[in-house]
Amino acid sequence: MSITSDQDPPRSAAVPDTPPAPAPARSRTGVWALVLRLHFYAGVFVAPFLVLAALTGLAYAFTPQLDQLVYGQELRVEQVTGQPRPLAEQIRAARTAHPEGSIATVVLPAGPERTTAVVLSVPELGEKQRTVYVDPYTAQVRGELTTWFGSTPLTTWLDEMHRGLHLGATGRLYSEMAASWLWVIVGGGLLLWLGRRRRYLGKASSWRVLWPRRGEKGVRRTRARHAALGLWLATGLLFLSTTGLTWSDHAGKRFDSLQQNLNSSAPALNTALPGNPASAAGGHGGHGAAGGAEHGDPAGEADRVLATARSAGLSGPVELAPPKDAHSTWSVTQADNRWPVHKDQVAVDPATGQVTARVDWADHPPLAKLSSLGIQAHMGLLFGLPNQLLLAAIACGLLTAVFLGYRMWWQRRPTRADRRAPFGRPPARGAWRSVPLPLLLVGAPVVLLVAWALPVLGFSLLAFLVIDLALGALRRRRTTPA
């Protein structure tokens, strides 16, 4: 994905980089030349990763509908009739059908036509669980699936495809590479647009570049469409880049450290019984699967715990997690990720049925709220179908912008019989030497700071520089007279 300079090269232009001019004068134009070269190379080499992220993200955005289509037997009841059976009866039905493992969580349905999910922690499944789906009106088991923190097998497969192409830790570098470079590519494109925007000052509108100009042909028309589309997509792409990095492997750890240093992490619910050392609710995202044997009588205690949580104001779908050990409480968490978000939590003493601790969504620091809301929007869950359609539009727009960028590169190729080449000439090497010195002195520490915060970006940028310098040295050696 690349925006090239305003002047088209002559058809006879040579393909290889020309040797850099000696000691060019430092000026503001050097900044645009440097940005152009960075945008070009980042677009050319990172675009394949962006294509993979866009395609897999496009599929993942519609997993709620795909789950209903594929797993309708497990997720939906046969008929809505009367009032739901007691939760104890539903849990016992699940345990009768599947006595293996221990109860990790019980997730109440989000709607009257949905089933209750009894999640079992089974040692041989590792991080995954066995989820038994029970009709709340008949207490009959509708089916079971191997899930990952509530996600169906299809959603889990698409999630891993989007995050790491099913290649483990090595594969996750692809998604972090795409997210790390996406904001660089978008930011470079915006800077190039600001440079081109001056051409329209004094005319009908300085924002005409938001729409491709009529009458353009060839590479100019492709460039105009690429630039206009990039501008429309910029906000969405920057949002996806930022939110994707917050839970990536390497940049995500930096973000977690920042939250801790700023005391902005999400508060953990204290699930220790009064008089015992404090312990936090376990599982994925602060609640979820718990390992080990069952403590007490989860089925017999569940209805009283649920009644206590309802009395405490936890409405809508909730997730109940039984005690992890004899010194712990039940935890009940609202499981509503739609706007307006409800994520209050309470800890309930299994013996007395009293609330022993509470964490409300309102208690979360602003940074923790923004992080959580950003992730839900990134996944297409925060605003429902409109959220999903917007993500689909951004993904399709990104794929189109990548195609236009590569097409522009191909259109700039020399076509003379003695100068034919498959692609156009890249922007000239050595642009950084014409950047004003104050900007270099300020920019270098900023680049180092960004490289530290985004390690994958830093290492890949270093690799680009080493390869570029090596190619430049080799080219100069070939062109130097013996």
Q: In sequence order, what DSSP letters do the residues of 406-474 get, joined into one string?
A: HHHHHHTS--STTS--SSPPPPPTTGGGGS-HHHHHHHHHHHHHHHHHSHHHHHHHHHHHHHHHHHHHH
pLDDT in tens, 387-435: 999 999 999 999 999 999 999 988 887 665 555 555 556 666 665 666 6
Give pLDDT, residue 207.
Answer: 61
Who wins on pLDDT, 220 or 362? 362
d(CA 107, CA 102): 15
Task: State mean pLDDT over 432-444.
Answer: 74
pLDDT band at 9 (very low <50, low <70, confident <90, very high): very low
* Residue 141 to residue 123: CA distance in whole angstroms: 22
Q: Using DSSP, state whether 131 is helix, strand or coil.
A: strand
Residues 6+ apart with CB under 8 A from 311: none
Q: Which helix (H) or strand (E) holds 371?
A: helix 366-378
> Range with the lowest mean pLDDT among 149-163, 280-294, 464-478?
280-294
pTM of the model: 0.85
Cβ atoms within 10 Å, residue 196:
17
Position 286 scores a pLDDT of 41
For the cut 60, the answer to whether the pLDDT of residue 19 exceeds it is no
Identify the residue with better confidence: 300 or 2: 300
Residue 429 is predicted with a pLDDT of: 62
Q: Could you tell me the pLDDT band of residue 124, with boundaries at 50, 70 and 90?
A: very high
Alpha carbon 390 to its chain centroid, in Å, reads 14
- d(CA 15, CA 8) in angstroms, rounded, equals 14
Length of the chain: 482
Task: Reply yes or no on whether the pLDDT at 3 is more than 50.
Answer: no
Q: Which two tokens stand for residue 160?
A: 């891993």
Q: Is the pLDDT of residue 444 over 90?
A: no
Task: State the amino acid at position 474 in one-letter form.
Answer: L
- What is the tens place of the pLDDT at every residue in 43-63? 989 999 999 999 999 999 999
- Which has more pLDDT, 278 or 24? 278
Q: What strands, in cross-sheet order, belong to the sheet with 330-334? A: 141-147, 129-134, 116-121, 102-107, 318-321, 330-334, 345-348, 355-359
Rounded CA-CA distance 27/305 in Å is 70
Residues 6 or more apart whose CB falls under 8 angstroms from that of 450 comprise 457, 458
Query: How far apart (Å, rounded) are the C-alpha atoms in residues 451 and 433?
Result: 21
Peptide bond into 366 cis (omega under 30): no
Using CA atoms, how far residue 21 sits from 17, 36, 317, 429, in Å, is 11, 17, 67, 9
Q: Are 365 and 348 in contact (CB under 8 A)?
A: no
Chain centroid to Cα 476, Å, comes to 42
Note whether 222 and 407 are within 8 A (CB): yes
pLDDT of residue 217: 82
Task: Report the C-alpha gap between 462 and 440 in whole angstroms.
Answer: 17
- State how beta strands 345-348 and 355-359 pair: antiparallel
pLDDT for 184 equals 94
Q: How confident is the model at residue 466 (pLDDT cuts 50, 70, 90)?
A: confident
Widest CA span in the chain: 93
**pLDDT for the residue 285:** 41
Q: What is the DSSP letter of 105?
A: E
Q: CA-CA distance, 331 to 349, in Å (whole number)?
A: 9
